[in-house]
A and B are shown apart, each in its own frame.
Chain A
Amino acid sequence: MKRFKWVIPTLYIIFMLLPIYWLLSMSFKTTNEILGTFTLFPKEFTLANYVTIFTDPTWYWGYFNSLTYVGINTVLSVSAALPAAYAFSRYRFLGDKHLFFWLLTNRMAPPAVFALPFFQFYSAMGLFDTHIAVALAHCLFNIPLAVWILEGFMSGVPKELDETAYIDGYSFPRFFVKIFIPSIASGVGVAAFFCFMFSWVELLLAKTLTSVAAKPIAATMTRTASSSGYELGLLAAAGALTIIPGAIVIWFVRNYIAKGFALGRV
């Protein structure tokens, strides 16, 4: 029985890859082939869908917009979360447990609840349709997550490290940047990865807070699906391209990803 163990993960991975394969194969087909005949492989292999995306600014700007707000959000979330996570992992202070749980409740808040007030709030602030607005809005669920993950990693670092550094005459900021952060580098990487991930995949808030100038790629896709008929090939190509950034970052964190999902607590 042990010899056939590999069958289960193999079948599971095939199940994971089938819809992705179908998306890729459609992205290389012409609209006629998609709607006219049923083929497992693209018969008239075409790159036309990808060419359209890379030459039409409304398409490729979508990618820039998404990557911009995701980048701002990741930097913002992780840098704000680092000192907070340190405080939670090292100190006891008035209301710490309540504060921690309150932060987590924001990770539990359904974005649909916040869509409308966010729209009004950011419009009133004059931030509507900017990358900053989406980046700030995504802090709602990314900061609690980053604090949670980093706190888990930091609790694994013995306190003697801090004490030795203070005896050696380090000030807190210098100790924190020079010694502490490097010692939890993998945790910072994982927290950044998760912020990237959840900001990259979220669409409800990103779509509500943008119209033209900061429109995310995923929202551009929805528009195409409805307005210009049914250009499935184009839609598939755009979808396939959204998988690439994720695939790249997964490769870098592959050995830590599980620890990250366990919030640094394995």
Chain B
Amino acid sequence: MIQKTVNQKAWWLVTPVLVLVAFNAIIPLMTVVNYSVQETFGDNVFFWEGMRWYERVLHSSRFHEALMRQLMFTGQILVIEVPLGIIVALAMPRRGVWVSVCLVLMALPLLIPWNVVGAMWNIFALPDIGLLGRIINGLGFDYNFTRQPGAAWATVVLMDVWHWTSLVVLLAYAGLRSIPDAFYQAARIDGASAWQVFRYIQLPKMKHVLTIAILLRFMDSFMIYTEPFVLTGGGPGNTTTFLSIDLVKMALGQFDLGPAAAMSLIYFLIVLLISWIFYTLMMRHERQQ
């Protein structure tokens, strides 16, 4: 850990970043705050509304349902992706040519534009022309994600697992590689079982990278928009309408600026609050080292 010296001139070094980000964050955010407390009928005429939109959003069942779907979705993908990522990382080769091959092939989904991911899964899962749809129907299940709510939900979750599990694999693998061989030798001499090696050597070493993985996966899955929008359009009905999809529908589709702005801020605050908890945990861990 580096001993930092006090130097107020360091502010000059952060100025470029500050200007660029403030330009993008503060001005638009203030616009949102403005809309959230006013009513407009066009022509730039605004009326003060105070907290009314906030109350309306907080009491609307539409927001509650979208939030519940969002929490369910984020919870489910974390429960699937994190253990799956750890299992794959544990089974990966430690050295040799196969390491590079594995890393490159696994990282591939991460670099595909998000709407291409949606379009790709659309043609992959369609029951008539898609490979996945054909296979599932061929096994005797009735599967059509454009019409069945359950199937649509499962397809979106599966798509996200396909898209992002590699992130967890890469992080967990980086954590595993930082364990010196001597640790494993000591464990072998002590006659430790595979489970004990995992529990007392590998898992503690991965704790830090896994926190980052969970933080990143939480943030990004909570903002998910493009992939489910292209795959299902939020349907059938509202089954896969997550917070972002609902927000865009409200703001750009119905042009309900006031409620949409109020919802934006509530949404942002929820993400912020949960991320802050993860961030604090992470920083505390870093200080301990």
Contacts and interface: CB of A to CB of B under 8 A. Distances in A.
Interface string A196-224: 01001111100000000000011101100
A84 B16 contact: yes
A47 interface: no
A250 B104 contact: yes
B174 A221 contact: no
User: Which among B8, B124, B130, B169 has the highest number of chain A CB atoms within 10 Å?
Assistant: B124
Given A16-B162, A93-B11, A103 B17 contact: yes
B175 interface: yes
Given A22-B123, A113-B247, A266-B174, A16 B166 contact: yes
A227 to B, nearest CB: 15
Contacts of B92: 9
Contacts of A221: 115-116, 119
Interface in A213-243: 217-219, 221-222, 225, 232, 235-236, 239, 242-243
Contacts of A265: 208-209, 212, 286
B24 A203 contact: no
Given A84-B13, A201-B114, A262-B175, A20 B108 contact: yes
Given A9-B92, A90-B5, A239-B116, A110 B16 contact: no
B107 interface: yes
Interface string B94-107: 00000010111111
Contact of A147 (B17, B109, B252): B17
B12 to A, nearest CB: 8
A113 B267 contact: yes
A265 B1 CA distance: 12
B24 A218 contact: no
Contacts of A235: 119, 123
Interface residues of B, number: 100
B17 A112 contact: no
B123 A8 contact: no
Contacts of B13: 83-84, 86-87
A18 interface: yes
B216 to A, nearest CB: 8
A112 B250 CA distance: 11
Contacts of B257: 116
A242 B113 CA distance: 7
Interface string B1-43: 1111111111101101110110111011101100000000000
Contacts of B58: none
B281 interface: no
B279 interface: yes
A114 B265 CA distance: 10
A36 to B, nearest CB: 9
Interface string B195-222: 0000000000000110011001001001
Interface string B245-281: 1011001100001001000110110011001100100
A113 B264 contact: yes
Interface string A143-176: 1100100000001001100000000000000000
A262 B17 contact: no
Q: Which of B88, B129, B173, B279 has the most CB of A within 10 A?
A: B129
Contact of A258 (B27, B103, B105): B103
Interface string B151-175: 0000000000010011101110111
Contacts of B136: none
A91 B6 contact: yes
B91 interface: yes
B223 A19 contact: no
Contacts of B91: 5-9
B82 interface: no
A258 B21 contact: no
Contacts of B28: 114, 117-118, 121
What 6 pairs between A and B have smallest CB-CB spacing? Answer: A246-B111, A258-B174, A117-B28, A87-B13, A8-B91, A112-B244
Interface of A: 5-9, 12-13, 15-20, 22-23, 26, 34-35, 38, 40, 76, 79-81, 83-84, 86-94, 96, 99, 101, 103-118, 120-121, 136-137, 139-140, 143-144, 147, 155, 158-159, 197, 200-204, 217-219, 221-222, 225, 232, 235-236, 239, 242-243, 245-247, 249-251, 254-255, 257-259, 261-263, 265-266
Given A87-B13, A200-B113, 13 more contacts: A8-B91, A16-B105, A40-B131, A84-B13, A93-B6, A94-B11, A109-B25, A110-B267, A136-B20, A136-B24, A139-B21, A225-B119, A261-B171
